[in-house]
Structure 1
Amino acid sequence: MSPLKELPTRPDPARRSKLNRRQALGLLASGMASSLAACSKPDEQILPYVRMPERIVPGEPLKFATTLGLAGIGRGVIVTSIDGRPIKVEGNPRHPGSLGATDVFAEAAVLSLYDPDRSRTILHNGAIASREALLGTLTTELSEARGNQGNGLRLLTSRTTSPTLLRQIDMLLQSFPAASWHAYDPTDDENARQGAQLAYGQPLCSVPDFARARVIVTLDADPLGHGPDQMRIGRGFAQRRSDAGAFSRLYCLESTLTLTGAKADERLALRPEAIERLAASLARELGAATGVIELPERERLLLRKISTDLNASKGEALVLAGPLMSKEVHGLVHWINAQLNAPVRLINQIDRTPSGRQAGTLDQLAGDLEAGGVRQLFIVGANPLYDAPADLQFEAKAQKAPFRLHMGEYVDETAVNANWHVPQSHQLETWSDLRASDGTASLVQPLIKPLYGSFGAHELLAWITGKHDAKPYELVRQTWRSEAHGDFEAWWQRALHDGIIAGTGSEAVEAAAMLPPSIAAEAEDKREDDLSLVLRPDPCVWDGSFANSAWLQECPKPLSKQVWGNALALHPDDASHLGLKPGDVVKISAHDRSIEVPVLLEPGSAVGICALNLGGGRQNAGAIGSGIGANAYILRIYDKPWRLVQVSIRRTGREEPILTTQNIVRTPEDVRELHPSYQLGHALPSIAPSDPPSLMPGKPKSGDGHAWAMVIDTSACIGCNACVVSCQAENNVPVVGPEQVAMGRDMHWMRVDVYDHGSANGPQLGFQPVPCMQCEHAPCEPVCPVAASVHDSEGLNAQVYNRCIGTRFCEANCPYKVRRFNFFGYANGEEYGNLGAESYRGQKNPEVTVRARGVMEKCTYCVQRISGARRAAERESRALAPDEVRTACQNACPTRAISFGDLNQPDAEINRRKTDPRHYTLLGHLGTRPRTTYLADVRNPAQSDAEERT
C-alpha cells in the first residue's frame, strides 16, 4: 500500500492541466502496482506454520510463526496473513514464553505495523536524506574512531536478548576496543540483579514455576501483572488452581493494588518499609540469624500463617520480591527460596554477548557525556530523552556528543534531538531472533515487506562495522549455522515452522545461597502525613512505547477502568485528608520537579502511598499518543526509580474528568448475585436457577447438529484484557476516542467486569469477562421492528447489519448491556484521529463486515471462525472435531479461562465445564437462557488458629 500523503506538494496553478484518459489509466495502474508491491511478502523464504495447498488461493489465510518482543524478551506468536497483509496475532503453543496465548501488547502489534505516524525516511537535522549520504557520513566518522580505537564511540540500545544483535555488538567492540555498549530499559529491575549478586556472588536470573508452587508469597511483586512473563506465569498459576486437591494459596503483601493482589487469597496493604520488615521477620522464622523485629498485631498474625504454610510445603513454596524492594530484600528472598527448595530455576543472564560482555548502565553513559568523552553516540531502539530519569539530565548531556544517530520506529523525543535519524523496521517487517525468559531462542521472520523506507537494527550494526551490503536474513542465518547438525536448510525450515529453536533453553545453574544479607529496618513507619509516590508500568501503554496505539489507549486499565490517560491513585483517607475528590487536578512535586495530574481514588493502596503509571505525557508519540496523560519520568530518579519519598501534593483548582468505561461493582447484594465467590472447602453459594419457568418456547432445535456455547471460569481470569484487544483485532471493532468515551459510547464487544468482595479498605476483586450472552430467549429479538436481531439454526443470536435501522430498542432491552451502537461512521469517514488513514485498512479482517453508522453490533462468537472451520471440514469430508473451533478471546486468554464448543459433542471441553458444581448463569433468574455461562470464583485463604481448633 502506498504511504499516505508522503511528501505532499502544493501544485502550481500556472502549470495545472487536465489529464487525458490514457494518462489517467496509466497513473491508476502504477498506483495499483505500488500498493501491491508494498503489501507483498518479503523476498526471502518464509515458511507457513501449517501445510497449505501448492497454489495460494486469494483471500485464504496463511499462518506464520514469529516472535514479538517486550522489554527485550521474546514471546512466540502465530500471525495470520491474508493476501500479504498481517491482520491477527495469536500465541504459539510451542513457545515457552506464550504457550499459545497473547497479551494486549502482542495483539496490538498488527495495528502499530500500519501506523501512518511511523518514521518513513532517513533524516539529517530534520531534513530528508539518502542512505548514501548517511553511509558517507558514517565512513568519515568511523574512520576517525578507528584511529583512536573507538575511544569516543558509545552504543546505547534498549534491553535485548537477540543472539544475532549481541553477536554483532561483540564484533563492534572487537573492531573498536575502546568503545563501550550501554543498555537501558525503563522497566528493568536493577535491585533484582544486585540482589542475586548478594545472594550468589553472580547476577543470576530466577525463573519461577507457578505450576509447581502450592504456596506463593509476593513481596510488592506483581507476577500476574502485565510484563514479558505474564502469559507463562498466568498459565502456571491457573493450572495449579484447576485441581481442588492441589489448589495453591497466594499471599500478597503490597503497597498498591495489583492484578496479583486482586487474585490473592490473603492480601495486606503495607508501606514498602513495613514489607521489608516483614520479609526480615519471615527469614528469621525460617532460621536466619536476624534480629527480632516488633510487628503490629495484624502483620504478626499474617506472618504466622505464612511461615506455617511455607514450612509445610517445602519443595512447593515460593517467595518473590518486586522492584520496590531493596537489593537486600531480593538477596534475602533468594536465601529463603533456597531453604524452601522452591520451584525456581537459576540461569545465567540472557542479555550478555557471546563473549560474556555485560552492557554498561545509562548512568555511566551520562557520566561519559558530561565529561565530554563521547564523540559518536548511536542510540538504537531506545528513547532516553523521554524515559530517562530526570535527575540524569540526559537531554542536556547528550547534546555534548557532536555526532548523534538515533534509530527508532518513530521520530520520537530522542529522534528530534539527534543529528541523524534512521527509521527502524517493525517487528513484523524484519528478520531477527530473540530469547524467552528461560533462554529459549526463536526466530523473528517478516510477514510483509517494509511499508516505508526503514531498516533493521542488524543492518545499522553492520554499517557501523563497515559492512554496508549486509542483509538481516543472512546475518541471522550466520548466527545459527553452527547449531544445525547436518542439513542446515532443513534445520532452518524446521525452526521457522515451529517458531522455536529446540534445545536452546538456558541450563540451570547450581549455586548455593550465601548467608542472608542483613536489613536495616526502620524503627517505625513514616509519619501519617508523609506521602510516598510509587511508579509502575502502565498496563496498556507499558513504558510509553505503545502510546500511539489507539487500541491500547482505549483499552480499560484492569483495576481502574481508566482510558486515554493516567491519574494519581490515592487512598480515600489520604484524599480526604488533603481535601481532594476524583478528578481534581493536583501538582505533585519531588526533588524540585513537579507535574500536574488528576486524582483517582484507589482503596487498595496503603495509607500514605500514592501511585502513578509511567508512559504518559508523550510529546512526539504521534497523532494518537501525543499529549495524553502526565509524564511521570519527570519525577523519577535513577537510584530509586520506583519510589519517591516525601512528595508534596497541592491542589491547582482545576478539574479534569477521569475517563472510565465502567465502575467497579461494590454493592454487596449486587456482588453476591452477579459474581458468586466462595472459599475452598466451604459450601457453594446459593445460585439462582438458570432455567426458571417461562411462557417462552422451549430451547431451539439445532438445525445442523451444532449448539455453540461458552463457559468462562472467573476463578482463572486475571483481568489482563487480552481477550478485549483480541476481539477488537479479530472483529474490526472501532476506536471511538476520548470524547465519545466520555459520553459512554465505547464500542468493545467484550468487557471485563470487576466485583469487590472485600471491605472498604481491603478490596478483594474478582474479574468477569462479559461478551454477548447469546440468549436462547433473547430479550433483544422480539423488540426489533425489522428482525435485525434473530436466532440462527445453531442457537446464535445473530445481528443482520443491513436490516438494522438504529432504533436501539434491542440495546435498551438487553439486561447484560453488551450491544454497541455506531453513533458515527467510525470505519467510514468519521474515524477518530488518523485512524481513517489508508494504511490502517490493511489490518482489517476481510472475513468480518465493517459496520456502518447507525447500526447495532455485538459479539458473534466469532461466527466467521465457525464458518471457516465448517468449510474446511466439508472440503475434507469429515465432521467438525471437538474443540476444533476456537474464538479469538479464547485463544488469547493466558489462563485458559474461556472455553467454547458444541454442546452436542459429548467430548467437548465445554460439556465438562457445564457439569462443574461451580457452574452458574449470569442473571439466570430472568429466564433468558444464555449460552454464555460461568464458573464461580474460588479463593483459598488460610485458616486462623481459632478456626482450625473449631
Structure 2
Amino acid sequence: MPPLGPPSRREPLTSRREALTLLGAGIALAAGGCTKPSEEIVPYVRMPERLLPGVPVRYATSLSLGGFARGVHAIAVDGRPIKIEGNPLHPASRGATDVFAEAAILDLYDPDRSRTVTEHKSGIASWEMFERALAGPLARARSRNGAGFHLLTGRVTSPTLLRQIASLLRAMPDAVWHVHEPVDDTHATRGTVRAFGRSLRVLPRLDRAEVVLCVGADPLGPGPDQIRLASGFAERRRDPGRFGRLYVAESALTQTGIKADARRALPPHAQAALLVACANALGAGLPAPDASEAVRRFAEAVAADLTAHRGRALVLVGPALAPEHHALAHWINARLDAPVDVIEPPDRMDGRTPAGLTALAAALDSGTVEGLAILDCNPVLTGGPDLDLGSRIGRAAFSVHAGTHGDETAGATHWHLPLAHELEGWSDLRAVDGTASLVQPLIRPLYGARSIHEIVALFGESPARSGYDLVRETWHETWSETWRESRPAREAAAFEAWWRQSLHDGVIAGSAAAAITVADSAPPSLPPRMGAGFTVELRPDPCLWDGRFSNNAWLQECPKPISKQVWGNALALSRGEADRRGVGAGDVVRLSVPGRTVEVPVAVESGVADGVGVLTLGSGRARAGAIGNGIGADAYRLVSRAERWLVTPVDLAATGRTGAVLRTQNYVQVEGETAKLFRQIDLADLATATPKGIGADQPSLIEAWTGDADGHAWAMAIDTNACIGCNACVVACQSENNVPVVGPEEIARGRMMHWLRIDLYDAGTPEAVKAGFQPVPCMHCEHAPCEPVCPVAASVHDGEGLNLQVYNRCVGTRFCQANCPYKVRRFNFFGYADGQEYANLDAEPIRAQRNPNVTVRARGVMEKCTYCVQRIATERQGAERDGRAMNDVVTACQSACPTRAITFSDLARPGNPVSALRADPRHYALLEELNTRPRTTYLANLRAPNPDWAEDHT
C-alpha cells in the first residue's frame, strides 16, 4: 500500500531513546504540568463557584516584547492555557493583541524548549550541580567586590528584576551589567540626549494628531507599542471631520506606508534630505540638503500642511536614521507644538547606566572575565559577526546562559539553565508608557524551569526565594511608601486587598510615568551624508521579530503583511533595481561587505526605492529548533557594531542559483473589473458616496432567503480603512479554532489552512502604490454557492444564518471549494493535525494547547471560518441558563484586532452595530454582483490625498 503522505512527511520508526524521551515528557506533563500553580492567582472574569471541567477561566497577566509589557487575558481550561486575548484595562493592549502575544501560547508548549540544566562537558546536569559549580566563581567575585563578574540581559523594565540587579551591584560594586536588545532604539535614545541633554522616551499620540509625517518610521508596524499607536490612529480616522493626512517617506513598503495618503519611496539619504527640507521650511536655517526637485516639492507640501495644523501635527523618524535626525524631529515637533508625551525611560536604573556588547567583547578579549551570566538573550546570534561572541565567550573562566531554548548562545557557554515561560512564572513588567503590570503563572513549569527572578537570586547572598515572594516584596515596598496608617494589622489587610485588586485587573493603578516638560533646543548639526553605493536596510521581521520566535510554527506560516511571504525571508528590490542588476524574483544573490557575506533570494516588490534592498532579521538560524532551523537567510551576518540598521556600501552579485520565495498571495493591481474586489474612496468624494447592498436586488434562480428561523441573524462588517494588516486576527483564529500548520512543502504546492486571510490590493502602480488591506473570512452567504453542489449535504445553513460544515459527512469531493467565488474553504489533503503533522507538531505538549470546544479535523475534510460558532453556542447556553436574551458574541478575530476593524453582531437585534455600518456610505459587499448575499460585508478604504501635491517619481 502506498504511503498516505508525501515522502517528506514519512518519518523513520521511533528509536528506543526517543520513545523513552516522549514517555518521560508525557508523564511530566500529565503529573505536574497541567496543574494550577501553588500560589493563588486571581481571575479577571467571574470565577465559577466550582472549577468545572471544560469551563474556561481567564487570568490577567502580561507578556513582553523587547522587554516592554502588553497586558493580556490568558484563558485556561482544566489547567491548560489555550488562548491569549487582550486586557482592556491595560494601556498597551486596550483589549487587543498582536501576532506575538497570540502565538505565545504555542511557545509555551514548544517541544524544543529546554528541559534540563546542561553542562558543556558532561551534558545533562541538575540545578544542585550548577549551584555547586557556581559557588567557587561567585565567592572569588565577591572577594574582589565583583571585579571580573559580568551580567548580560536584554532590556529590563521589570521593577523586581531591576531591584534584584541593583542589589547585586551594591553587593559587588565592581561588577558590570550589560544590556543588549537586538531591536534597539539607540539612535532614538541618542537623539533625545542631543535634543534634551539626557536620555528620555518620547511617546507620540496618534489619537491627537491630524497630520503626521513618518520619515522611515513605521508606527503601525510590529513592535511593543503597535497596539496603542494603531488604536489611536484608527480612532482619529473614524471621524471624517478629523481624518487628517498621513505622509510617509520610506525605503520599502510598510504597514504605515500602506495607510499613507501621500507616500514617496526614498533611499535613506533622501529621507534625511526630506526631513532637513521640512525643518528649513519651519525656520531651522540648516544648510540646504542635496535633494531632487521632486523631494523638494514633496517637502514644501508636507511643511505647509504641518504648519497649518499646529498643535495637531507630528513628525516621526525611523530607527535607521542618525541620532541627529531624531533630534531634528524633536526640534520640529517643538515648533509644531506636536502631541507627544516625554517621560523618563521605564528601563533605566537610578545611578547606573548599563554597558553594551562592545564593552563585553573588550572585557572578554582582556581575559579579565571570571564569571559571565547571560540571561534571556541570544547575543551570539544577534551581536553580529564582527563581535564574534560565539568564540569570545569561551575566554570567560565561567559562563552560564539562561533561556527557554538551547539556542546559539547556550551552545557557547559552559552551563545552560532552562528558563520558565512567562505563563509559567511570577514577574512584573512596565509598558512603553511606564505602566506597571503583574505577570502571574497559569501553569506550573512544564520542564522544571525557573523564572529569571529565581535564577538571579542564585547570584545573591540571601537564600533562594520563590518568584512570587520576590515580586510581592517589590510591590509591598512600593505600596508602603504611600501607606499613611500606622497600625500594622490594618496595613497588612489593606495591602492584601490592593494586591488582589492589582492581580485581578492586571495593572498597577496609577503607575504610568508622568509626562515631563523639556526645554527648547536649537536645531542640531547634521551628520555627514551617507556614502554612495547600494544600501541594505535591515528591519525586524513582522512575524519573527528579532528571531526569538523562529521556532514558532504559527508565526513561520503567518504571511508577512506586505510581501505575503512565509517560511523565510528575501531581499526586497524594486523592479528597476532588479532589472539594472540582471536579477529576477527567486534569484539567489550574494550580499557582501568587508568580512561578511550572506546569500538570500530576491523578491521584486512594489514601493521599494531604487538603490536600496530591504531584508528582515531573525531567519537563517542553526539552533532555533525543529521548526526554525535552516529557514531563510541570516541577516545578522551584515550587522556591525557601528551600525545595526543600514549597511552601505554593499556588493550585490548573482550566484546563478534560484531559491523558493513562498507567498500566499501574489501582487494584485486592481483596475477595471478587478476594481470590484476592493473599494477605495477619496475623502473629498465621501459626501456623494452611497452604501452598496449585498446584491439582493439582483435576479436569482435561488429562492428568496427565509432563514434565521431561530430568531438570530449573525453578520460581520469589516472596516478596511481601519485594518493595518497586522495579522493578529489570523493567528487568533488559528489559536481559537485549532487551525493546523501545513509546512513549507505544502505551501509550495499552493496549499494552506488559514480560515482567514488578509489580501493586499493596489489601485496604483508599482512605483506609486495606493494599496489597502482586506481581511477575507467565509462570507456566510445567504445564497451560498457551496451548498447545492455538496453531494452529501455537508455544507449547510442553520437557522441563524451560519454557513456550516458537517465534518463527519464530508467525503472530500471539494465541489464546494470549486464553487466558492471567495476561495475561503480549505481542504485537509493530509492529516495536518491528525497523524501527519509537520516536523515536531505531533508532540504531546502541542496537543495540550488545542481548544477542547473545537473539533480537530482529520484528513479529507473541508473546513473554513465558522464565525466562532463555539462562542455563539457558549453564549446561547449562558442565556438559557440565566433566563435572558443573548448578548453579542465576540469572535476571536474581532477580539484580537487592535484597530477594532471587525464588528460582529446579530442583525435581528434592534440597534445592532452591524446594521448601522451597513447604512454607512462606504458599505459594500465583495463580488455583490454574484448575488450570493454575503453576511460578511465591508466598509471602503478612505484616502485623503493632498491636492497641492501630485505624486510623481522623477
Alignment TM-score > 0.5, same fold = yes
Pick the aligned partner of 1:84 from 66, 75, 79. Answer: 79
Question: 2: distance between equivalents of 1:267 and 1:227?
Answer: 22
Tell whether 2:879 aligns with 1:873: yes
Code of the residue aligned with 2:57 in structure 1: it is: L
Question: 1: distance between equivalents of 2:170 and 2:230?
Answer: 41
1:724 equivalent in structure 2:
730
C-alpha offsets along residues 133-187 of structure 1, whole Å, 9 cap, x if unaligned? 1111222111111111110000000112101000100001001010010110110
Q: Secondary structure at the match of 1:137?
A: helix
Pick the aligned partner of 1:253 from 245, 249, 259. Answer: 249
1:16 equivalent in structure 2:
none
Pick the aligned partner of 1:123 from 109, 118, 121. Answer: 118
Q: Secondary structure at the match of 2:496?
A: helix
Question: 1: distance between equivalents of 2:181 and 2:29?
Answer: 38
Alignment of 1:353-502 (within 5 A): 353=349, 355-484=350-479, 485=483, 486=491, 487-502=494-509
Deviation at 1:406, TM superposition (A): 0.2
Asked whether the equivalents of residues 297 and 949 of structure 2 are also in contact (C-alpha less than 8 Å), the reply is: no
Q: Which moved more, 1:294-303 or 1:438-447?
A: 294-303
Tell whether 2:676 aligns with 1:676: no
2:517 equivalent in structure 1:
510
Asked whether the equivalents of residues 690 and 920 of structure 1 are also in contact (C-alpha less than 8 Å), the reply is: no
Q: Secondary structure at the match of 2:705?
A: coil
Asked whether the equivalents of residues 548 and 624 of structure 1 are also in contact (C-alpha less than 8 Å), the reply is: yes
Aligned length in residues: 922
Q: For the structure 1 residues 768 and 34, does the alpha-carbon distance in structure 2 shift closer, same or farther, using more than 3 Å as the test?
A: closer
Alignment of 1:173-322 (within 5 A): 173-293=169-289, 295-322=291-318
Q: Secondary structure at the match of 2:650?
A: strand
1:617 equivalent in structure 2:
620
1:818 equivalent in structure 2:
824
Q: Secondary structure at the match of 1:151?
A: coil
Code of the residue aligned with 1:509 in structure 2: it is: I
2:488 equivalent in structure 1:
none
Asked whether the equivalents of residues 154 and 377 of structure 2 are also in contact (C-alpha less than 8 Å), the reply is: yes
1:535 equivalent in structure 2:
538
Gaps of 5+ in 2: 1-12, 484-490
Tell whether 2:135 aligns with 1:139: yes
Asked whether the equivalents of residues 688 and 925 of structure 1 are also in contact (C-alpha less than 8 Å), the reply is: no
C-alpha offsets along residues 406-456 of structure 1, whole Å, 9 cap, x if unaligned? 000000000011101000000100000000100000000000000001111
Code of the residue aligned with 2:806 in structure 1: it is: V
Q: For the structure 1 residues 946 and 107, does the alpha-carbon distance in structure 2 shift closer, same or farther, using more than 3 Å as the test?
A: closer
Asked whether the equivalents of residues 343 and 513 of structure 2 are also in contact (C-alpha less than 8 Å), the reply is: yes
Q: For the structure 1 residues 385 and 670, does the alpha-carbon distance in structure 2 shift closer, same or farther, using more than 3 Å as the test?
A: farther
C-alpha offsets along residues 368-391 of structure 1, whole Å, 9 cap, x if unaligned? 111222110000001011111222
Deviation at 1:873, TM superposition (A): 1.5
Deviation at 1:87, TM superposition (A): 0.2
Deviation at 1:698, TM superposition (A): 1.3
Deviation at 1:467, TM superposition (A): 3.4
Code of the residue aligned with 1:719 in structure 2: it is: G
Asked whether the equivalents of residues 277 and 521 of structure 1 are also in contact (C-alpha less than 8 Å), the reply is: no
Code of the residue aligned with 2:562 in structure 1: it is: L
Code of the residue aligned with 1:516 in structure 2: it is: P
1:20 equivalent in structure 2:
none
1:22 equivalent in structure 2:
none
Question: 1: distance between equivalents of 2:18 and 2:141?
Answer: 43
Pick the aligned partner of 1:352 from 348, 354, 374. Answer: 348
C-alpha offsets along residues 728-775 of structure 1, whole Å, 9 cap, x if unaligned? 000000000000000111000000000011223121220000000000
1:51 equivalent in structure 2:
46
Asked whether the equivalents of residues 664 and 753 of structure 1 are also in contact (C-alpha less than 8 Å), the reply is: no
Tell whether 2:915 aligns with 1:886: no
Question: 2: distance between equivalents of 1:397 and 1:759?
Answer: 49
Tell whether 2:759 aligns with 1:753: yes
Pick the aligned partner of 2:144 from 134, 145, 148. Answer: 148
Deviation at 1:295, TM superposition (A): 3.5
Question: 2: distance between equivalents of 1:10 and 1:77?
Answer: 36
Code of the residue aligned with 1:214 in structure 2: it is: E
Deviation at 1:333, TM superposition (A): 0.5
Asked whether the equivalents of residues 531 and 648 of structure 2 are also in contact (C-alpha less than 8 Å), the reply is: no
Asked whether the equivalents of residues 74 and 437 of structure 1 are also in contact (C-alpha less than 8 Å), the reply is: yes
Tell whether 2:651 aligns with 1:626: no
Question: 1: distance between equivalents of 2:880 and 2:849?
Answer: 28
Asked whether the equivalents of residues 673 and 687 of structure 1 are also in contact (C-alpha less than 8 Å), the reply is: no
Deviation at 1:289, TM superposition (A): 2.5
Question: 1: distance between equivalents of 2:949 and 2:603?
Answer: 38
C-alpha offsets along residues 691-725 of structure 1, whole Å, 9 cap, x if unaligned? 21212111233122110000000010000000100
Deviation at 1:37, TM superposition (A): 2.9
Q: Secondary structure at the match of 2:212?
A: strand
Pick the aligned partner of 2:807 from 801, 805, 808. Answer: 801
Deviation at 1:83, TM superposition (A): 0.1
1:916 equivalent in structure 2:
920
Asked whether the equivalents of residues 324 and 525 of structure 2 are also in contact (C-alpha less than 8 Å), the reply is: yes
Q: Which moved more, 1:423-432 or 1:645-654?
A: 645-654
Code of the residue aligned with 2:325 in structure 1: it is: V
Code of the residue aligned with 1:939 in structure 2: it is: R
2:486 equivalent in structure 1:
none
Asked whether the equivalents of residues 29 and 446 of structure 2 are also in contact (C-alpha less than 8 Å), the reply is: no
Code of the residue aligned with 2:914 in structure 1: it is: I
2:3 equivalent in structure 1:
none
Pick the aligned partner of 1:847 from 837, 853, 860. Answer: 853
2:8 equivalent in structure 1:
none
2:7 equivalent in structure 1:
none
Normalising by structure 2, we get a TM-score of 0.94
Question: 2: distance between equivalents of 1:718 and 1:568?
Answer: 23
Question: 1: distance between equivalents of 2:558 and 2:673?
Answer: 25
Deviation at 1:645, TM superposition (A): 0.9
Alignment of 1:34-49 (within 5 A): 35-49=30-44
2:99 equivalent in structure 1:
104
Asked whether the equivalents of residues 157 and 183 of structure 1 are also in contact (C-alpha less than 8 Å), the reply is: yes
Question: 1: distance between equivalents of 2:605 and 2:463?
Answer: 54
Tell whether 2:167 aligns with 1:161: no
Superposed CA RMSD in Å reads 2.0
Q: Secondary structure at the match of 1:649?
A: strand
Deviation at 1:784, TM superposition (A): 0.1
Question: 2: distance between equivalents of 1:431 and 1:689?
Answer: 51
Asked whether the equivalents of residues 732 and 848 of structure 1 are also in contact (C-alpha less than 8 Å), the reply is: yes
Asked whether the equivalents of residues 680 and 940 of structure 1 are also in contact (C-alpha less than 8 Å), the reply is: yes
Question: 1: distance between equivalents of 2:658 and 2:186?
Answer: 37
Question: 2: distance between equivalents of 1:554 and 1:276?
Answer: 35
Question: 1: distance between equivalents of 2:111 and 2:599?
Answer: 30
Q: For the structure 1 residues 70 and 32, does the alpha-carbon distance in structure 2 shift closer, same or farther, using more than 3 Å as the test?
A: closer
Q: For the structure 1 residues 509 and 229, does the alpha-carbon distance in structure 2 shift closer, same or farther, using more than 3 Å as the test?
A: same
Question: 1: distance between equivalents of 2:283 and 2:25?
Answer: 77
Q: Secondary structure at the match of 2:648?
A: strand
Q: Which moved more, 1:439-448 or 1:309-318?
A: 309-318
Deviation at 1:669, TM superposition (A): 2.3
Deviation at 1:256, TM superposition (A): 1.6
Question: 1: distance between equivalents of 2:29 and 2:531?
Answer: 65
C-alpha offsets along residues 513-538 of structure 1, whole Å, 9 cap, x if unaligned? 3111021464xx866xx311110000
Q: For the structure 1 residues 414 and 520, does the alpha-carbon distance in structure 2 shift closer, same or farther, using more than 3 Å as the test?
A: closer
Q: For the structure 1 residues 175 and 713, does the alpha-carbon distance in structure 2 shift closer, same or farther, using more than 3 Å as the test?
A: same
Code of the residue aligned with 1:138 in structure 2: it is: L
Question: 2: distance between equivalents of 1:246 and 1:923?
Answer: 31
Question: 2: distance between equivalents of 1:663 and 1:34?
Answer: 42
Normalising by structure 1, we get a TM-score of 0.95
Asked whether the equivalents of residues 741 and 832 of structure 2 are also in contact (C-alpha less than 8 Å), the reply is: yes
Tell whether 2:550 aligns with 1:555: no
Q: Secondary structure at the match of 1:754?
A: strand
Gaps of 5+ in 1: 13-26
Q: Secondary structure at the match of 1:399?
A: helix
C-alpha offsets along residues 623-647 of structure 1, whole Å, 9 cap, x if unaligned? 0001101101111112111011121
Q: For the structure 1 residues 844 and 670, does the alpha-carbon distance in structure 2 shift closer, same or farther, using more than 3 Å as the test?
A: farther
Question: 1: distance between equivalents of 2:694 and 2:778?
Answer: 20
